[in-house]
Structures are given as structure tokens and as C-alpha cells.
Amino acid sequence: MMPFARDDLFVGREDIITQTSERRAAAPTHTRVALVGLGGVGKSQIAIEYAYRMQGTKPHMLVVWIHASDPTRFRQGYRDIADKLLLPGRDDPKADVLQLVYAWLSDRRNGQWLMILDNVDDDGVFFGSDQDSAGTSAVQAVDTSGLDRPLESFLPQTTHGTLLITSRNKIAATNLVGGYGDVIEVEPMGKEDALALLDTKVPFDESSRADAKALVHALEGIPLAITHAAAYIKSRASTTTISTYLELYRGSEANQVHLLSRKEWKDIRRDHSIRHAVIATWQISFEHIQTTEQSAADLLALMSMFDKQGIPRWLLQQANASQLDFDDALAPLLSFSLVRTEIGAQALTMHRLVQLSMRRWLEAEKDLGRWVMESIRALSAAFPSGDYQTWEQCKVLLPHLKEIIGHMAEDREGLEKQAKSALRAGWYLFLMGEYTAAEGFVRQSLEIREKVLGQEHPDTLISISQLDSAKEAGKVQ
């Protein structure tokens, strides 16, 4: 009972498929394995390939696929199983179809089975209250049975059955796996696998290999992004090559948003409810987090304004003195793989494409200006004087300052804070002996102050003086 055909050009992921098989084989009792990771990283495609391989080695095994993003789809999945197996009593209006399927799957005499629960992103679907499980009238129209039990209780725990779960939400996956298996984190593809994937979609020769490498690197090895780019190139084969696509992509952030937001291409090997463009794929996660954890959504919005790597926790925590509150806000972002920890968990990083998607989402929500201002305030408050004793802190914050200065501030306060931070960065670089870089920052500070304060304002004159010093030092050097 698979809704998708096998991908004859499936490449890579052998390590994950092997891990899944080993954990299933090693389990003495009921097995549950979850594949978790960022949306678009290829979890469902791995599950499809694994299902076909399992059926190839065990042709008598029942393999069922259920899209489990909400109670309606899960209940419909069980109804489909009952119909496929011609279970007696399934047509009785009073029949508990969930219980009928549960009983059949629990009976060892019916043989081995593999159930894939795809897109288990919402923890409440399987562990919610009676009302949560019942959901809307649409759910009740499918099947009103079993409303007095959480849906998780209809997943058999038997030695002859295996659950394979895909989820963006590590917490939801971990809860569903329980003590019966493991969670396998699915990362973006490595360079060679990413190249192989691109080659299956848009074959390239050795002369184009360097551009192909650059493209999969720019797309961070995320399979959905690579496949989407390949579809764009293929659909415009007369005018677009890997090289020209890469040039367009590198052109600007606006170009990246445009290319990754194209809606005309559809992947029929993804569920109809999630056939979104690359940018929109992550926005689903943003919307879920905003609905359930506003503080986490706010934290992600602020993070997306800075450089994508090495964002210090203390920079983000300035506005929130409580360590517990900050950790509570961070937890959903880590669970959905939208951000990661680095440097001993004291800094955070995010994928560039996630950052881009978040900014686009904020723009659509008419909330981008607010978070630009919040990031400017945070950076201005954090960036020190630039004197010797602050060099280490300046070094950490400099990449984020470069990003912040590039944002379009909407009011005078934001512009003045950008100018102040740029001047401090210029002083730090001047003392470091990096005069050319110092001149660039001070010049940005001067341009802002001339525009906002006028040429005769004392702050403008300070910027002019420091710019002259950087120029002279550069000449001497």
C-alpha cells in the first residue's frame, strides 16, 4: 500500500538505510525507528526506498504508508487498510475501524508488517486529548471511532511489526518512538552524493563539474533545493545551464528568493499536501512554531537577521535575562532542525536557505522591519568600543555587524545605531592594522551620518576624522 512509485535514480543515503535495517534487525521486540531532520532534507524519499527494499527481501510483508500530519489523514489511512484487507465488519456504521485494524496488525498469524508514518510533525496528533484527536467535523465524517483513546494507542507493539516514522520535529518523533527504537538524524547530503543527485536530474560533463560543485554547495546539499534547481534548469534547457543558474543565484538575495519560490514545478513523489516550493517548505514549520511557541518564533526571527553562523547565545539573550525562558524558546528550533548549536553550545547557526526563507516569510507577514530594528538594537548594545580589551568580542560580532549594516533601517534611530556600530568596528579594525577594512566601515558610518545628521553635526565630524586617519594609515602601510 505505497502511494509512490520507486525512484529508479535514487542515490546516496546508504548509511541511513543501513542504520535503519540494523536497528530493526537488532531489536528483540517491537521496533520503531524515526528519521528526523529539516524539511526538504529527503526523509520521505529515504523511507520510500527503504520500503521497496524491504518488500524486495520480504515479499510477503505487508507495507503500508500513512501520511500522519493530522488525525484525519491517519484515520483515513486505517480506513484504507481495512478496505484493502477486506476486514469483516468494516462497513458497519458502528464499527470501530481503528480497533479492527489494530487487532489485525496485532495478530502474529497475519505475518510481518512495516508501517511508514510520514510527516509526524505535530506531537498532539498521536498524544492529544480526545477533542484534539477528534478534530473537525471532517475527521468525524471519516471515522468517529476510538475518540476515547489517543491515536498512539492504536499503533500495535508487536515483535512482527515495525514502525518507520518521518518527522521534522525531533520531540514528536522521540515521543512516538518511546523505548522501542531510535531516532536517526538525517542531515543534508555530502558533496559527492549531492553531485550525484544533481547529475541524475541534469546530467553534466567534466567541463561543468566545477559549476555543479559550486551549485550544490550554495544549496547546502539540501535535496529538495537541488531537485528544484535542476527542474528549473531542465525546464529552460534552451537558455539556462548549471553555470547560468549559478550566476543568477549568486546575483542577489532577491534572485535566490525568486528562484527557490517558483511554484510551477511539482514533485509527484511527495504527498499532495506538501508539494511546496523550497522556500515555502520551511515556512510551514515557521507557522507551526508561531502557533505553538511564539517566543521560539521571535527568537528565530531575530536570529535570521544576523550572519547565519556563530551567533553568540549572549547576543540573543540580551533582551531575555532568564536562562530558562531562553532555553524553552530555543528547544523547538533545535527540535525542528532549524538551528544548530556550535562551539560548545555557546553559539548557534542556521542554514542559509532557512535564513532566507525566514526573512521572506517575515516580509510577507509585514514584520520584517520590526526584526531589522530589533537586530540593530541588539548589535548596537553589544558591540564594544573597539579598544584592545574588547578585541575578542569585536571579532565574534564583526560578521553579524556586516549583515546588520546591510539591512534597510526604516527610522532615524536605526540609522544612527548602524552608524555608531560601524564606527566602532572601524576603530577596532584600525587598531588591528587592517586599514582598508577599517576605511570601509568608517565610510559607511559617515555616509549614514551625513544623510541623517548633516555634514556639520559633531558625530559626523568624528566619522570624517576617523576616515581621514584610516586613509593616512593605509597610505603609510
Q: At what angle do helices 71-84 and 97-106 cross, to 10 degrees?
A: 60
d(CA 100, CA 143): 12
Query: 3-class DSSP state for residue 446?
Result: helix
d(CA 225, CA 246): 13
pLDDT at 271: 63
Q: Is 395 exposed, middle or buried (0-12, 13-18, 19+ CB in 10 A)?
A: exposed
State the DSSP code for 169: -
Q: How many CB atoms lie within 10 A of CB 110?
A: 14
pLDDT at 146: 53
* Residue among 188, 180, 223, 191 at smallest CA distance from 24: 180
d(CA 284, CA 357): 10
Which cell goes with 420?
A: 555608531
Q: How many CB atoms lie within 10 A of CB 107?
A: 12
Number of H helices, E strands in the chain: 23, 8
* Residue among 423, 328, 416, 403 at smallest CA distance from 377: 416
Q: 294-313 burial, b if ≥16 CB within 10 A, otherwise e? A: eebbbbbbbbbbbbbebbbb
pLDDT at 251: 92
Q: How many CB atoms lie within 10 A of CB 265?
A: 15
pLDDT at 285: 86
Q: What is the pTM of this model?
A: 0.85
d(CA 431, CA 394): 12
Residue 313: HSE in the Cβ half-sphere, 13 Å Cα cutoff: 17
What percent of the residues of the chain are helix, what percent strand, and what percent coil, each to the nearest 5? Answer: 60, 10, 30
Would you mind telling me the total number of residues written for the chain in this entry? 477
The answer to whether 471 and 439 are in contact (CB under 8 A) is: yes
Sign of CA dihedral 82, 86, 91, 95: negative
The answer to whether 338 and 305 are in contact (CB under 8 A) is: no
Residue partners of 251: CB distance under 8 A and separation at least 6: none
pLDDT at 145: 53
d(CA 230, CA 108): 46
Q: Is 433 exposed, middle or buried (0-12, 13-18, 19+ CB in 10 A)?
A: exposed
DSSP H or E segment with residue 230: helix 223-235
d(CA 143, CA 75): 7
Note down pLDDT in tens along the chain; length 477 residues. 888 889 899 999 999 999 888 877 766 666 899 999 999 999 999 999 999 999 999 999 999 999 999 999 999 999 999 999 999 998 988 889 999 999 999 999 999 999 999 999 998 899 875 444 444 433 444 455 556 789 999 999 888 999 999 999 999 999 999 876 789 999 999 999 999 999 999 999 999 999 999 999 999 999 999 999 998 998 888 899 999 999 999 999 889 988 888 766 666 666 665 656 678 888 888 988 998 899 999 999 999 999 999 999 999 987 556 888 899 999 999 999 999 998 777 899 999 999 999 999 999 899 999 999 999 999 999 999 988 899 999 999 999 999 999 998 888 999 999 999 999 999 999 999 999 999 999 999 999 999 999 998 998 899 899 888 888 776 666
Residue partners of 40: CB distance under 8 A and separation at least 6: 222, 223, 224, 225, 278, 281, 282
pLDDT at 469: 85
pLDDT at 466: 85
